[in-house]
Amino acid sequence: MNANTKNLSILITILALLCFLAIFGGCSRKSSIPETAFIPERIIQNFSDMREDEFVAWAWVRRGFVLGNCRSITFEPIVDASQKPNTAAVRRFDQGLHTILNGYANDNGQLDVKIQTAVLDVQSKPGRIKKMFLGFDSNPYIEIEILITDQATELPLAKIIHFSRDKKSLKNAVSAILNDIKRFCIQSL
């Protein structure tokens, strides 16, 4: 047997093995469940009336609504709808939001309002290995929704969608989003 014949038989054996693996090892027709994109649980269902805002990403406020007219403000538990929950960041955001909005309640107010909040996505700073992969977002960020409704009528009074991204830390992103919401409340509510 010469060298060319020996190489040809090795090549044929390798090709046969590859065909066998392709047919029976994963390339065969298998019914699989199609993957769907992650869709977070949202508290705001109608976005048609929302507009871009100077301080937050998107907002809508019912004409005549002012936070200073609130007699009581009730906070529902925050919904963490993100794929990878970050309880420390969510807790920090929730405490900051309570601090901002509780300052508006007064005894002379006429409205009792309910605040619903959802954290749609939160991403902390990735480790060194994840940074090496292309297409991986390396900046920490947080995205939230806030819905303020009248407790008596369940009518929406304000809707806010906002996100914040920071190059250094998620803590800074949470602080930035709280500052933006505070400025929005001072100017628009």
Q: What is the mean pLDDT of residues 2-12?
A: 70
What pLDDT score does 86 carry? Answer: 77
In angstroms, the CA 153 to CA 131 distance is: 49
Tell whether the model's pLDDT for residue 116 goes beyond 90: yes
Tell whether the model's pLDDT for residue 153 goes beyond 80: yes
Question: Is residue 38, in this structure, part of any structural domain at all?
Answer: no
- More confident of the two residues 39 and 146: 146
Q: Which of 82, 56, 78 is nearest to 142 (CA)?
A: 82
What pLDDT score does 55 carry? Answer: 92
Strands (DSSP E) contained in the chain are 51-52, 58-61, 70-75, 79-80, 111-123, 141-150, 156-165
Tell whether the model's pLDDT for residue 5 goes beyond 60: yes
Question: Is residue 57, in this structure, part of any structural domain at all?
Answer: yes
Tell whether the model's pLDDT for residue 87 goes beyond 90: no
How many domains are contained in the chain?
A: 1
Domain that holds residue 141: 52-188
Question: Is residue 106, in this structure, part of any structural domain at all?
Answer: yes
What pLDDT score does 34 carry? Answer: 59
Residue 122 — φ and ψ, nearest 5°?
A: -145, 135
Question: Is residue 178, in this structure, part of any structural domain at all?
Answer: yes
Question: Is residue 112, in this structure, part of any structural domain at all?
Answer: yes
Residue 80 — φ and ψ, nearest 5°?
A: -100, 95
For the chain, the average pLDDT equals 82
Q: What is the domain-level CATH number for residue 171?
A: 3.30.160
Question: Is residue 44, in this structure, part of any structural domain at all?
Answer: no
pLDDT digits (tens, 9 = 90+) for 118-151: 998 888 766 555 555 545 556 888 899 999 999 9
Widest CA span in the chain: 103
Question: Is residue 27, in this structure, part of any structural domain at all?
Answer: no
Question: Is residue 29, in this structure, part of any structural domain at all?
Answer: no
Q: Among all chains, which residue has been given the structure tokens 């649980």?
A: 41
pTM: 0.73
